[in-house]
């Protein structure tokens, strides 16, 4: 019989997880799905399922591009980390000089630093004016209207997730490098990492030809036993492309596997240890996360936010992660630094089961196997991002 070496155990775990994925992919919660697992710097699993558009026969491939929603925040914070290493920026650099329209009540904008916007410590209530962004109001105008918003704490002292405010980092970076944000991301991150199909902005999505259409479905019935209509593809919404630092990245599972490897420390020539340590250091408590991830009760012991990344204690293990959702897409990236293993999940639907792939993977890795996360008939536990604002995470 095969001896149970760590390598063999890893293989067994991966086989188990792949079986779970295969089963889940046959449910009607997915149209297209792409998943990659990275361990010790190697892409150990890269699987694609389903189609780019419901009713069509164009299969999702390793190069099919999806919107990654708020996973874009990690690209912006990483570029900021690179700018700090280049000496162009510091954590304590004030943002207001780069954003003339940005105003908070009582002139508090003068106290907002790069660290504050990247860790969501702006003093604004959660998702401030995302509604205006979705209604098509211009970003500079929204930034000036923030002066009408009542703060929930003093600047720098509490966490509340933002999109419009977070995305100011793009303007700051453009100013210090004298170059458009999208070009900077391409030159400093996508190109050197070999992320050939990744882009920032709406033009980049369709330009590849091979891209997954977003899908929605109608929901009826009560929370305990919801009924769903069929998936239908919808037009791509441009709102969060207008805040590229918060929600503007498009990428394939091939691209995102390379991104995960780099974040896990496997591309030091592009992302140095000091850049990674800056962006992965926890900066603020996020107690509401434990409530929002209601399905993770008993697993999620602690939740903090670093710069563009979440830092969790999951079952006693450090987990660095972020999730993203814009209409018709869901994305998740996460890794366990102590185990040196991570996962990326991209989907062109936002079904609740999409959010269960990560805990299924983690429990399998950590041998916490008493819960069947992907149980095909279990509609009880809901993950509240299902009804969250378009871009939240």
Average pLDDT over residues 58-63: 99
**75 falls within a domain:** no
**107 falls within a domain:** yes
Q: Are residues 85 and 66 in the same domain?
A: no
| Model confidence pLDDT, tens digit, residues 163-184 | 999 999 999 999 999 999 999 9
Q: Are residues 209 and 343 in the same domain?
A: yes
Judged by DSSP in three states, 99 sits in coil
In total, how many domains does the chain have? 2
Residue 388 has a pLDDT of: 37
Q: Are residues 374 and 277 in the same domain?
A: yes
**392 falls within a domain:** no
Q: What is the pTM of this model?
A: 0.95
Residue 391 has a pLDDT of: 47
Residue 1 has a pLDDT of: 54
How many other C-beta atoms can be found within 10 angstroms of the C-beta atom of residue 259?
Answer: 28
Give the CATH number of the domain where residue 222 resides.
3.40.710.10
Q: Are residues 135 and 167 in the same domain?
A: yes
**184 falls within a domain:** no
Residue 393 has a pLDDT of: 63
DSSP 263-315: IIII-TTTS-HHHHHHHHS--EE-THHHHHSGGGTTTEEEEEE-SSSEEEEET
**335 falls within a domain:** yes
Q: Are residues 51 and 149 in the same domain?
A: no
**189 falls within a domain:** no
Tokens of 326: 């814009």
Q: Are residues 45 and 122 in the same domain?
A: no
Q: Are residues 224 and 205 in the same domain?
A: yes
How many other C-beta atoms can be found within 10 angstroms of the C-beta atom of residue 274?
Answer: 12
Which value, to the nearest 10 degrees, does the dihedral of the CA atoms of residues 223, 226, 230, 231 take?
A: 30
Residue-number span of the structural domain to which 116 is assigned: 80-177
Provide the mean pLDDT of the chain. Answer: 93
**393 falls within a domain:** no
Quick check: 52 pLDDT over 60?
A: yes
């Amino acid at each position: 019989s095969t001896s149970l070496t760590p390598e063999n155990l890893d293989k067994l775990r991966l086989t188990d997880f792949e079986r779970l994925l295969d089963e889940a992919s046959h449910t009607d919660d997915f149209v297209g799905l792409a998943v990659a697992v990275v361990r010790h710097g190697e892409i150990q699993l890269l699987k694609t399922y389903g189609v780019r558009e419901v009713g069509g026969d164009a299969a999702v491939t390793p190069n099919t591009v999806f919107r990654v929603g708020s996973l874009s925040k990690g690209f912006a914070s990483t570029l900021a980390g690179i700018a700090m290493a280049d000496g162009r920026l510091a954590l304590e650099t004030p943002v207001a000089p780069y954003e003339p329209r940005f105003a908070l009540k009582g002139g508090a904008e003068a106290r907002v630093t790069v660290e504050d916007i990247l860790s969501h410590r702006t003093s604004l209530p959660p998702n401030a004016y995302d509604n205006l962004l979705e209604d098509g109001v211009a970003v500079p105008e929204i930034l000036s209207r923030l002066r009408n918003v009542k703060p929930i704490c003093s600047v720098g002292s509490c966490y509340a997730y933002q999109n419009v405010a977070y995305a100011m980092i793009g303007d700051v970076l453009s100013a210090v490098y004298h170059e458009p944000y999208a070009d900077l991301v391409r030159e400093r991150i996508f190109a050197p990492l070999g992320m050939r199909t990744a882009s920032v902005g709406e033009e980049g999505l369709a330009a590849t030809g091979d891209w997954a259409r977003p899908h929605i479905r109608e929901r009826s019935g009560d929370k305990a036993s919801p009924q769903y209509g069929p998936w239908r593809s919808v037009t791509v919404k441009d709102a969060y492309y207008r805040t590229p630092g918060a929600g503007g990245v498009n990428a394939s599972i091939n691209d995102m596997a390379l991104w995960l490897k780099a974040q896990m420390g496997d591309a030091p020539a592009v992302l140095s240890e000091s850049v990674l340590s800056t962006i992965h250091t926890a900066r603020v408590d996020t107690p509401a996360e434990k409530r929002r991830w209601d399905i993770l009760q008993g697993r999620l012991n602690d939740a903090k936010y670093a710069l563009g990344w979440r830092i969790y204690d999951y079952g006693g293990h450090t987990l660095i992660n972020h999730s993203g959702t814009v209409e018709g897409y869901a994305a998740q990236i996460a890794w366990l630094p102590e185990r040196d293993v991570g996962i990326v999940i991209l989907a062109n639907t936002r079904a609740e089961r999409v959010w269960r792939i990560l805990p299924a993977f983690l429990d399998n890795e950590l041998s916490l196997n008493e819960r069947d996360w992907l149980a095909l008939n279990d509609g009880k536990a809901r993950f509240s991002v299902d009804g969250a604002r378009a871009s939240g995470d």
